[in-house]
């Protein structure tokens, strides 16, 4: 089970943020933020990208205002960065995650 949370926007869509193991590297965690019509669709998008165990129970770590702004301004509506990253570190498109050769430093 992943640590994360969600925020429902006035438009009715949701933003889900989860801390998940990087696919292929169970000992490395990334923070993934996804914009979708509802929570189930957000989790399905993550599952289709290789995050097979993505489940959301509770709202322990909802998306921050920074995460909400970043994902709303990204054309894919799906971004990530290292879980331990500073708030000033950039967000990356999800396609960049598959190109990472190994866990980030």
Mean pLDDT of 42-56: 82
Say what the pTM is: 0.84
Could you state, in order of their start, the residue ranges of all structural domains in the chain? 3-99
Most confident option among 20-24, 90-94, 99-103:
90-94
Cα(53)–Cα(35) distance, integer angstroms: 18
Is the pLDDT reported for residue 101 higher than 50? no
Q: What is the DSSP string of 16-53?
A: EEEEEEETTEEEEEEEEEEEESSHHHHHHHHHHTT-TT
Report the C-alpha gap between 56 and 77 in whole angstroms.
18
pLDDT in tens, 19-45: 887 766 667 788 899 999 999 999 998
- List the structure tokens of 70: 């970043």
């Amino acid at each position: 089970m992943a640590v994360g949370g969600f925020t429902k926007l006035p438009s009715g869509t949701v933003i889900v943020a989860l801390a998940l193991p990087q696919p292929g590297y169970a000992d490395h965690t990334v923070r993934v933020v996804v914009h979708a019509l509802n929570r189930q669709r957000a989790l399905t998008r993550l599952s289709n990208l290789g995050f097979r165990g993505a489940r959301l129970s509770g709202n322990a770590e909802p998306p921050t205002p920074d995460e909400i702004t970043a994902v709303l301004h990204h054309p894919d509506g799906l971004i990530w960065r290292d879980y331990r990253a500073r708030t000033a570190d950039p967000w990356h498109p999800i396609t960049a995650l598959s190109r990472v050769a190994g866990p980030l430093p």
